[in-house]
Amino acid sequence: MGLFNLFRKKNMSNEIKEYLEKGAVVLDVRTLGEWNEGHSEGAKHIVLNTIPENVETIKSWGKPVIAVCRSGGRSGQATDFLTNHGVDVINGGPWGNVDQHL
C-alpha cells in the first residue's frame, strides 16, 4: 500500500466520522443477499438499481447520506447519481468502513 492510499484512507475515515457526527444515514446499496449476510446497524437498504425511483424517499430523510456497498464501486455510482440530484452524500466505500465507527 502506497503513501497515497494511506492518506486517502485516513481522509475517508475522517470524512465518514464527520458525516456520522452530522447525523448521516448509512445507505447500503448492495443486493438483498449481501445485506442479509451482514450490514451496519441502523443502515437503510436500497439496492443500487432502484436508487432512481427512490430519490425522493432519500431526500425526505432530510439528512446527509453515506453510501456503502461491498467494495466501493456501487456506492460510488449511487453517490454520483444522488449528488446530481441534490443529495448531500459521500461514498463510504465498503460497509465495514462505516461499521467500525458506529
Rounded distance, CA 45 to CA 30, Å?
Answer: 8
Farthest CA pair distance, the chain: 40
In a 13 Å sphere around the CA of 12, the CA atoms on its Cβ side amount to: 21
- Give the list of residues 6+ apart from residue 75 with CB closer than 8 angstroms, or none: 29, 67, 68, 69, 91, 92, 93
The parent domain of residue 19 ranges over 3-99
> In the beta sheet, which residues pair with residue 69?
94
Confidence of residue 10 (pLDDT cuts 50, 70, 90): low
pLDDT at 9: 55
CB 56 within 8 A of CB 87: no
- Can you give the pLDDT at residue 7? 43
Based on the structure, what is the number of domains in the chain?
1
pLDDT in tens, 29-60: 999 999 999 999 999 999 999 999 999 999 99
Query: What is the CATH number for 63?
Result: 3.40.250.10
pLDDT tens column, 55-90: 999 999 999 999 999 999 999 999 999 999 999 999
Q: Against a cut of 0.75, is the pTM above it?
A: yes
Q: Cell 456501487 identifies what position?
A: 74
Q: How many residues in the chain?
A: 102
